[in-house]
Amino acid sequence: MPDPFSTSDGVVSRLAFWLTPRYRVVSVAPRGDSPYQVDAVDLVGVLRQFGFASPVLIGERRGCVVATVAAAWYPDRLAGLILVDAESDPPPGESIEARALRDCPPDWPRLRRAITCPLAEMSSSATSFAAEVDAFLDGLKATLP
């Protein structure tokens, strides 16, 4: 099983208490108001520094966008992606996620697998969630040039 890797504070940090007996968990605080792309590059640098071979990124709020950008740019370095309480919920054309992905067109099939695969082991409703992920990614694709 891959090492989980947390990119944010809050709920995810509180979950670390339950994750640490079985997994290695590292929490990364972003620089501050830097662009998502800068934070994603920083995050991947930390992954390398700690020797994570194929971690699961867990992002919360702003960390969801950073984790999504990291997964889009470096899909081969990640085992999965779990997003908790994404930061924004505006229309797809104005979403933070779409703006972040506009600068880093992802490998859509790999991004979908990165989001849905970790859930397949945890939830019997993974199939219905996968359909929601497909709709979300289709909405993002529609907003990109």
Tokens of 63: 């960390």
Residue 75, pLDDT score: 82
How many domains, the chain?
A: 1
Residue type, 83: L
Low-confidence ranges of the chain (pLDDT < 70): 1-13, 32, 86-108, 110-130, 140-141, 143-145
**Domain assignment of residue 116, given as a range:** 4-143
Residue 90, pLDDT score: 46
Residue 12, pLDDT score: 67
pTM beyond 0.75: no
Cα 48 to the chain's mean position, in Å? 17
Residue 109, pLDDT score: 72
Going 111 to 8 to 31 to 97, the CA torsion angle's sign is positive
Residue 91, pLDDT score: 44
Q: Are 70 and 104 in contact (CB under 8 A)?
A: no
Residue 102, pLDDT score: 60
Tens-place pLDDT, residues 34-64:
777 788 889 989 988 999 888 888 887 778 8
Alpha carbon separation from 33 to 17, 37, 84 (Å, rounded): 28, 11, 20
